[in-house]
Amino acid sequence: MALDAYEEASDEALLVLYGNGDPMAAQLLTHRLAPRALGFATRLLGGDRAEAEDVTQEAMLRLWKQATGWRTGEAQVSTWLYRVVSNLCTDRLRKRRTVNIDAAGDPEDGRPSAVESMMDEDRAQALQGALNRLPDRQRIAVTLRHIEGATNPEIAEIMDISVEAVESLTARGKRALAKDLAGRREELGYGED
Amino acid sequence: MAKTDKQPLLDSELELFFNAARKADVEPSADVFNAIIADAEAQLSAVETLPVVGQGSQEGGWLQSIFSAIGGWPAAASLASATVAGVWIGFTQPVQLETLSGGLVLSGDYTAADTSYALEDLAPGYLGTTLFAEDEG
């Protein structure tokens, strides 16, 4: 198949191609899905990049194993993957809490100074700190809705809850973030109006 | 007037944080990317090398041998279809059979035929039907 045709193919079509023995389809799917899975896992795991990479690799492995038995038209591949990532992260967070209940906090500050000086980077880090202080389910719902750009019905499918429950979780999560980040208003340079 | 720290962020202010998070670099490292691709290839190889049950071995037993002898799944599917069709033909009313045969098998309305045959006419004494006739008077 020509490369253009691969690039235009849906995630599901690529997964079916992979299931039929096409390794090129796996490469394209990895390019498309692994960054999204990694970003999502990183946010859920409080900025722990190494653990998020483990989760991403595990989630992608589960996707490969699922390929031959994939039932077309039932769920979007990305929705399925977000669900797996969400479950893997929740498991890890649960285990982490049994080891150290106070582990969650602001992410590490040991980044290169050139990056530290960027406003966006500061805001992203401040947001990550505030996300870490949210209950797990609110963090998952807010991250999916406002960072990953998922719709409420998609989030409902990923989290296996009703759309109303999603709306409630995202509303409460946003309110908590707005309160938590209020103290960073001056520091992050948008309190001069 | 400047907003105080106690006032929660407005939606538009919070959106700045979400925007910043969306822009953050989340590309997997080359090592992770390569590991994921290696997993994909290993999984493909594992599927391709799975042994086929009953092929070249005695593991399938006599049932597997019979199944293979009649032609495997395609033959089994045909056999099942023929069985279902046979049962249907057996249970369906003759009127439908006539419709299907285009009048070759039966002609006219079989159910309203002047001449009808009871089972004892065709097989006198069969299954003791004469006894039933006697009981009915």
Q: Are residues A126 and A91 both part of a single domain?
A: no
In a domain? residue B128: yes
B47 vs A: CB within 8 A? yes
* pLDDT reported for residue A5: 75
B3 vs A: CB within 8 A? yes
Pick from A18, A113, A1: nearest CA to A60 = A18
Q: By three-state DSSP, how is residue B59 classified? A: coil
- Using a 10 angstrom Cβ sphere, with 0-12 exposed, 13-18 middle and 19 or more buried, the burial of residue A44 is buried
Question: What is the secondary structure of A21-75 as a DSSP string?
Answer: T-HHHHHHHHHHHHHHHHHHHHHHTTT-HHHHHHHHHHHHHHHHHHGGG--TTSS
Pick from A119, A43, A38: nearest CA to B26 = A38
* pLDDT reported for residue A115: 44
CB contact under 8 A, B32 and A34: yes
Q: How far away is chain B from the Cα of A134, in angstroms, using its nearest Cα?
A: 15
Cα A14 to the center of its chain, rounded Å: 22
Q: Are residues B99 and B85 both part of a single domain?
A: no
CATH of the domain at A128: 1.10.10.10
Nearest CA in chain B to A181: B9
In a domain? residue A125: yes
CB contact under 8 A, B23 and A124: yes
Sequence-distant (≥ 6) Cβ neighbours of residue A72 within 8 angstroms: A12, A16
Closest Cβ–Cβ partner in A26, A42, A128 for B37: A26
Q: How far away is chain A from the Cα of B53, in angstroms, using its nearest Cα?
A: 18
Q: Are residues B87 and B97 both part of a single domain?
A: no
CB contact under 8 A, B32 and A177: no
B13 vs A: CB within 8 A? yes
Q: Which domain holds residue B72?
A: 58-91
In a domain? residue A192: no
* pLDDT reported for residue B57: 46
* pLDDT reported for residue B98: 60
- For chain B, what is the mean pLDDT? 69
* pLDDT reported for residue A44: 93
Q: Each residue of B95-109: pLDDT tens digit? A: 665 666 666 655 555
| Residue A186 pLDDT > 50 | yes
Chains A, B: CB contacts under 8 A, how many? 122
Q: Are residues A81 and A137 both part of a single domain?
A: no
**What ipTM was assigned to the predicted interfaces of this complex?**
0.81
Sequence-distant (≥ 6) Cβ neighbours of residue A109 within 8 angstroms: A116
Q: Each residue of B31-84: pLDDT tens digit? A: 999 999 999 999 988 877 655 444 444 455 666 666 666 666 667 777 777 777
Q: Are residues A94 and A119 both part of a single domain?
A: no
Q: Each residue of B107-131: pLDDT tens digit? A: 555 555 555 556 566 565 555 555 5
Q: How far away is chain A from the Cα of B54, in angstroms, using its nearest Cα?
A: 21
User: Which stretches within chain A are classed as H helix?
Assistant: 3-8, 11-19, 23-44, 49-66, 77-99, 113-116, 119-132, 136-142, 152-159, 163-180
Residue A55 or residue A2, greater confidence: A55
Q: Are residues A98 and A41 both part of a single domain?
A: yes
Q: Each residue of A120-150: pLDDT tens digit? A: 888 888 999 999 999 999 999 999 999 999 9
| Residue A31 pLDDT > 60 | yes
Q: Which domain holds residue A33?
A: 1-104
Confidence of residue A17 (pLDDT cuts 50, 70, 90): very high
CB contact under 8 A, B35 and A57: yes
CATH of the domain at A37: 1.10.1740.10
Tell me the Ramachandran region of residue B93: left when phi exceeds 0, alpha when psi lies from -120 to 50, beta otherwise.
Answer: beta
What is the Cα–Cα distance from B23 to B125, expressed in whole angstroms? 93
